Structures are given as structure tokens and as C-alpha cells.
Amino acid sequence: MNENHSSNKWIYKRRWIGLRVKEALKSFPVVVITGARQVGKSTFLHNEFPELPYLSLDDYDALQLAKEDPVSLWEGREILIIDEVQREPGLLTAIKSAVDRGKRRHRFILSGSSNLLLMKGVSESLAGRAAYLEMLPMTQGEVDQEDPRSLVFFELWKKDSVLDDKLVPAKAPSYLSLLIRGFMPPVVFLHERQEVLLWWDSYVKTYLERDLRDISRVDNLVGFRNVMAALSLRTGNLLNQTEIARDTRISQPTVFRYLQLLEVSNLIRRVPTYSRSRAKRITKSPKVYFVDPGLSVYLSGYHDEDSLSGSRELGAFFENLVFLHLAVLCDMMVPRATIHYFRSTTGKEVDFVLEWGNRLLAFECKHTQRPGYGDIRNLLHFLEEHPQAVRGVLLHTGRRAQILHRRVLALPWWWLSSSFR
């Protein structure tokens, strides 16, 4: 649940992923929802599907049944929600059998804090039977309860769409305060800085002391925390494991394993390079982002707006803020759009290239309130090389939209998740 301080009541804010889950249930006997801890999965399931039977493997009795007699969990039920399913991965084999033997009469919504697609042997057990969706932290549009069916983002894919200053939302959010606070549902409505810092401190400790134990043995928690901090300072950069190993004095194989654990825990995402050749996308180094920019800012040691505003990483944190919103929006598309970055042989870079079928959108992030023509040179280079791209978009921290080129539009970053009116 989410707290509304003005009325002092607890209310639920609808999550946009709900549209995808309900559509997936029509076609798949199993829908798997993963996401980092505290991202709002359990709250979502209770509020979107209040009529469905619900079990959590955080409950000891349910966990024991899942281990010893899993069939009894869904006996006499056609549909069942099972939360925290990562606590007993073996349960998925029994679910596969239930789906197959029952000729898909049984249906399941499974939820967990681990990315089951990255857990060895798990994705194979439900191949062809499950739709996999990831819940990310809340976008600003979800906080403001914007209509997900009429977002500016979807208009950007239309070559003939007209976007102008009339679309400016009445209230422009302070991106610095948002970066300090983050977008996890429990922290979204905290107003005091000390409350926010205490929440993130508790979150990191819980992750290190509990969640890591569930998915892998990590003896050196201090070393793992150091790798997280080193990675946070490299948000939006090419992933260089050798450099992280050198700076943290941790072996490269251990750094490699720690990064995999962070990815399995849904705390980071890798963004591959864009190339016409799909084989080249695999060979080039990815960029890395935390799913919540508030976590990367906290781990980097910036605990107030004054220190953050003067930091050399501010541009990268702003880029991470944009990444979260693009990732949520791409996941809403059917089929989902994929996110890449672009770097030419001459070093020209575009922060994000979104691919949806044979369509492309290119995004450049600029930490400025007054973007100009000089800020779009890399976008123009990309558009010249990729004429199939719909347009380029420069996202900035200002309030105005403007046309900087016949194929490039400058937009305030929060317009991405605002309604097109």
C-alpha cells in the first residue's frame, strides 16, 4: 500500500504493469513477475487480484508444503498466486507437471525477488508455458497516476505526432530531490531526508544479510558492498570488470560473480550496444545501470542535494533516472521494445536507442535546462546513419519542449511518463 499524507490514509496507486499481467493471463498458464525486493510485487498482487487465492513462501508452513507436497498447494484450485517463489525453485518442476497433466487447466501467477530467467535450470522448466514480466520501481507518471494508455512516450513512435508547450504538466518535479529519494514504493512518500537515508540503509543491509543468502553464499559482505559502491560510481558507463576488481582489490572472477548476483537480484541491468549486426551487439561491452537511481546515488555517498548537485557523476545519475522510465515504458509495449546504446567507430555516442520491430527511437540525455543545437550532434549523426529511425529526442531538466531539428525534439525528461492531452 502507499501512504497519502494529505488524508493520512493508505491508498493503492495502480501500477502500469497490471495491463501486461492481465493480457498475459489470457495466453499463458503461468505468469512470472520478478523484481527487486520492495518494488511493490506483493502489494500489486493483493490489490489487482484480491479475489484470487494467495500463498507466500515467506510463510514457513507454505514453504514446507512446497518442498514436501507441492500438489496440495493448488488442489481444487484452478488459479493460484504464489509469492516469493525463489525460496523453493524446485516448486517450478511441479508446476510444470500440473500445467501439462491438467492440459493447462491450472493457472499460476508466480512472483519473486530473483530474476528467474537468469537462475540456472529455472527458465527451462517453464519454457513455452510462462510469460516473464519484471516490475521496476515506480515512474513519476505512476506516482502521479497518469493514464498509461495515453502517454507522450507512445506518441514519440508516430512520425506525424505534434508535441508542443501546451503539454507541459502543471507541476515540474525536482529531479535532484527525486534522485536522492529514489522510486521504490515505500520511499516515494517519505518527505524527510533522514527518513529516506534510514530507509536506504535498511534496504541495503536487508539485501546483504538476507536476500544474498537466499540465492548464493557470499562470505565477504564488506567486499560485496564495496563492489556495489564502485559500480554505483560507474552508473551509465561501460562495464569494466577489470577496473572494478583493481579499485576494490577483489579478484576478477569474484567481481564477475558479484555482478551476476546483482543482476539475478534485479538490482542492475546491462544495456547492450546497438548495431545493425546482432552478432556485434554481443561482443561489445554493455553499459550498466541500477534499476533505481536512488540506490546508485545512496551507494555513491551523496546524501543531500548540495553535494549531489556539485558531483561529477550527476549527469550519469540523471541518465540512470531516464533509464528507469524508458525501461518501464519499453516493457509496456507489445512486444516489448529493447534498449541499447550507440557508439560509432569515431566515438560519437547516443545514450539510448530503443528498438521495436524495425522502428528505432534515439534518446540523448543532457543535464541542462536550456538545450541547444550543439547538444544534438550525436543524435544527428545516428539519424543520418539510420534513416529508419522515427526521430531523435533530447531529454533535459528544463520545462520547455522545442524542435531543434526537423527530426529532433527536445523534451523535459518527465514528459516521457506524462499523459498526451
First to last CA, the chain: 29
* pLDDT at residue 171, rounded to an integer: 65
* pLDDT at residue 6, rounded to an integer: 40
Better-predicted residue by pLDDT, 76 or 44: 44
* pLDDT at residue 90, rounded to an integer: 87
* pLDDT at residue 309, rounded to an integer: 96
Long-range contacts of 337-340 (CB under 8 A, 24+ apart): 339/271, 340/271, 340/272, 340/273, 340/274, 340/281
Interhelix angle for 241-248 vs 221-232, to 10°? 130
Above 90 in pLDDT, residue 18?
yes
Domain residue extents for the chain: 2-134, 140-417
Please give the Cα distance from 365 to 187 (Å, whole number). Answer: 25
Q: Where are the beta strands (DSSP E) in 75-204?
A: 79-83, 107-112, 130-134
What percent of the chain lies above the pLDDT cut of 70? 91
pLDDT band at 168 (very low <50, low <70, confident <90, very high): low
Q: Supply φ then ψ for residue 25, to 5 degrees.
A: -65, -20
Residue 210 DSSP class: I
Q: What is the mean pLDDT of residues 150-168?
A: 77
Better-predicted residue by pLDDT, 6 or 116: 116
CB of 411 closer than 8 Å to CB of 395:
yes
Above 50 in pLDDT, residue 252?
yes
Above 80 in pLDDT, residue 33?
yes
pLDDT digits (tens, 9 = 90+) for 307-317: 999 999 999 99
Q: What is the mean pLDDT of residues 322-346?
A: 95
Q: What is the mean pLDDT of residues 340-358?
A: 94
Cis peptide before 169 (omega within 30 of 0): no
Q: What is the mean pLDDT of residues 398-420?
A: 90
pLDDT band at 217 (very low <50, low <70, confident <90, very high): confident
pLDDT band at 10 (very low <50, low <70, confident <90, very high): low
Q: Coil, strand, or helix at residue 267? A: coil
Above 80 in pLDDT, residue 215?
no
pLDDT digits (tens, 9 = 90+) for 116-135: 665 655 667 788 889 999 99
Above 80 in pLDDT, residue 388?
yes
- Rounded to the nearest integer, the mean pLDDT of the chain is 90
Q: What is the mean pLDDT of residues 252-267?
A: 94
* pLDDT at residue 238, rounded to an integer: 95
Neighbours of 76 (CB within 10 A): 6
Residue 21 DSSP class: H
Please give the Cα distance from 266 to 290 (Å, whole number). Answer: 9
* pLDDT at residue 11, rounded to an integer: 81
This prediction has a pTM of 0.93
Q: What is the mean pLDDT of residues 197-215?
A: 89
CATH 2.60.40.1930 fits 2-134, yes or no: no
Above 90 in pLDDT, residue 163?
no
Q: What is the mean pLDDT of residues 326-343?
A: 96
> CA quadruple 241, 35, 417, 278: dihedral positive or negative?
positive
